[in-house]
Amino acid sequence: MSSFTTPLNWSGPSSDPLDEQFGDVVSGTDLDTADEFDAVLVGEPYDGAVISRRGAAEGPEALRNALAGVKTHHFDTGAINSVADLGDIDVPTGSVTEVQDEVQEVTRSVHALDTLPIFLGGDNSLTVPNVAPLLEDSSVGVLNIDAHLDVRTVRDGPTSGTPYRQLHEAGLDSYTCLGARHFETSTAYHDYVRENGGTVVTADEVAADLSEAVDRALSSLGTVDRIYCSVDIDVLDASYCGSSAPTPGGLLPRELFRLMRLVSDDERLAGFELVECAPPLDTDGRTVDAAARTVAHFLSGWSA
């Protein structure tokens, strides 16, 4: 079974001792002590299933480095201070299916903890092992905050575009995509979502009334026991987005941050991930910075 690499030695880069940053409060942990924290970070440095441009394997390290310099204070909820880092999953070599199967053995142990896992990707294919252990004993809905539906048919093996079809076939109870963009998916895949009882809330709807869009997305998941929230950073507009598939017409960072605060208030949350952040495809670190702050805004709501 895959294991964890040694967690990052976190430190805040500010020279001002009053500037408390995530680097000052996040500490390394292991499976024996992770229950002591409200949330734990888990890195997944893998991009072997990306359909187009690679680079997401470098996401976890870059996200940690950026988050270390983010201050812990939120004006509405105060400081965040109960977060630990389990390190990166030691992702095996092999086919995408083999990787998913082995990583799932590790994520099962993470979900058994009495804390909220925050998975730092990595590509979207590892959403499958991140969610699958929850299906074993609960009804589960996924809130996919994404420009794309990611319900492609599995042909020559899984890809970063197939995770939610795989999860549907594994017993996923409910699925909603929030932030999807017109002309970024095929009719057949939209029909697949609707035929399986899923919901699509577009980026236009977010722009028109963000609170209403979030309410519709969460209510559409029904009465599931648990919700897993996935953020594919390509939900951001291409001008802010260094990822494998950036496109125009997406969310602004401020909209995504507010989404995080609203979504993280749902008591059914059982896991969160940020995927497809690809530092080699970024410009001036703007995507990594936005992604790190997305995690921070989610944590501000979760820990409030």
Q: Is residue 10 part of a domain?
A: no
Task: Please state whether the peptide bond connecting residue 122 to the residue before it is cis, i.e. omega within 30 degrees of 0.
Answer: yes
pLDDT digits (tens, 9 = 90+) for 33-70: 999 999 999 999 999 998 878 999 999 999 999 999 99
Q: Is residue 247 part of a domain?
A: yes
Domain count, the chain: 1
Instruction: Give the chain's length.
Output: 304
Residues 6+ apart with CB under 8 A from 208: none
Q: Pick the residue with more confidence: 155 or 304? A: 155
**Starting from the edge strand earliest in sequence, which strands make up the sheet with 269-275, in order?**
27-28, 83-88, 39-44, 116-121, 269-275, 226-232, 140-145, 174-180, 199-202
pLDDT confidence of 6, banded at 50, 70, 90? confident
pLDDT confidence of 7, banded at 50, 70, 90? confident
- Predicted local distance difference test score (pLDDT) of residue 242: 64
Domain that holds residue 31: 22-302
Mean pLDDT of 188-217: 97
Mean pLDDT of 111-117: 97
Helix axis angle, 210-220 relative to 253-263, nearest 10°? 40
Q: In whole angstroms, what is the distance from residue 153 CA to residue 143 CA?
A: 20
Q: Is residue 5 part of a domain?
A: no
Q: Is residue 281 part of a domain?
A: yes
- Predicted local distance difference test score (pLDDT) of residue 248: 82
pLDDT digits (tens, 9 = 90+) for 155-194: 999 999 999 999 999 999 999 999 999 999 999 999 999 9
Q: Is residue 28 part of a domain?
A: yes
Rounded to the nearest integer, the mean pLDDT of the chain is: 94
Indicate which CATH number applies to the domain containing 83.
Answer: 3.40.800.10
**Closest-CA residue to 129 (of 153, 163, 162):** 163
Q: Is residue 245 part of a domain?
A: yes
Residue 91 has pLDDT above 70, yes or no: yes
Q: Is residue 271 part of a domain?
A: yes
CB-CB neighbours of 107 under 10 Å: 25
Residue 2 has pLDDT above 60, yes or no: no
Q: In whole angstroms, what is the distance from residue 261 CA to residue 269 CA?
A: 13
pLDDT digits (tens, 9 = 90+) for 136-161: 999 999 999 999 999 999 999 999 99
